[in-house]
Amino acid sequence: MLNIAIIDYPNSLQSAVYGLQEMFEMANGVCQSQQLVERFKCDKLTCQQLSTLPAFDAIIIGPSNNSEFYLSPDPNLLEWITVQHQQGAIISSACAGTFIVAATGLLTHKQATTHWGLANEFKLRYRQIDLTIEKILVNSIDVITAGGMMSWLDLGLELVGQLTQPSVMRQLGKQLVVDTGLREQRYYQQFSPILNHGDGIVLKAQHRLQHDLAQSISMAALAAALHLGERTLLRRFVKATQLTPMQYLQHLRVQRACDLLETTQDSFESIAYRVGYHDVSGCRKLFVRIMGLTPSAFRQRFVG
């Protein structure tokens, strides 16, 4: 029997809590049809129900829409997770749940992911965790994290696959009509620049880049316009935004290109031109590097 604990912490997304329970029930059906002996037993646990229970095979900490709990989680829950991990349980999280796992220290110096919209906040709090926000799922065997509000689907499937057989996961994916192939969170990601850093000059630089992204802007010109030395602008910019001006501009341009791919029928060639590139192939290369798929694949996926 495979014991799964789904933590129903305050404000946790209820569709995920119940959806996961039902997913494991369905997985039991698939196991049966494939003549496998494995069976899942799911427990939904609130923070008050933790102490007396036996060791689990996997713990799931799901998404939340409300930061109140996951930014300052119950120490008893953290302790309990740590003990379960020591006893061999797989610790897993989806979306904001990764904040709770991070607070236990289990992710230190490991790869992890969470919702892309929470990336800046996460990096601020947990500098020693290697956040790979472009991925939907990061599986380190004993700890699994997932990004995206609906990534509990991916997480559930991954756990089913890891605890039973990949064939069970694929069959379950078919029943649910959910993609079990490779997918990345960055396909869905939008550039969310840091603006609340409190450096007014850098903010002006950011606005100027945003406004002038269609033209080629040199760092020298930007520095001059702001009455700053180039070296200083660079340092202040990186400190405030976590990106070099060039990287920042590239993200702005790719973001604009994504918008245009979605909202217009224009060729990528003309889009490239409108986001400041005189060289389509260079623009395409950049797009693939940041988004993880080609412009045409992007358009196909989102405007189909």
Partner DNA sequence: AAGAAATGCCGCCATC
Partner DNA sequence: GGGATGGCGGCATTTC
Nearer to DNA, 2 or 290 (CB): 290
279 is an interface residue for DNA by CB under 7 A: yes
CB of 281 to DNA, least distance (A): 6
CB of 294 to DNA, least distance (A): 14
216 is an interface residue for DNA by CB under 7 A: yes
List, in order, residues 6 or more apart from 145 with CB less than 8 Å away.
92, 93, 94, 98, 101, 107, 112, 113, 114, 137, 138
217 is an interface residue for DNA by CB under 7 A: yes
Selected range binding DNA among 27-35, 76-84, 169-177, 224-232, rule: CB under 7 A: 224-232
Q: Residue written as tokens 């209820």? A: 14
58 is an interface residue for DNA by CB under 7 A: no
Considering only residues 91 to 120 of the shown chain, the ones binding DNA according to CB under 7 A are none
Q: Work out which of 134, 230, 242, 294 binds DNA, going by CB under 7 A.
A: 230
Torsion from C-alpha of 103, 106, 107, 108, nearest 10 degrees: 90
CB of 111 to DNA, least distance (A): 21
- Give the residue among 220, 224, 280, 226 at the shortest CA–CA distance from 253: 280
What does the binding site for DNA look like in residue numbers (CB under 7 A)? 216-220, 228-232, 234-236, 238, 244-247, 250, 277-279, 281-282, 286
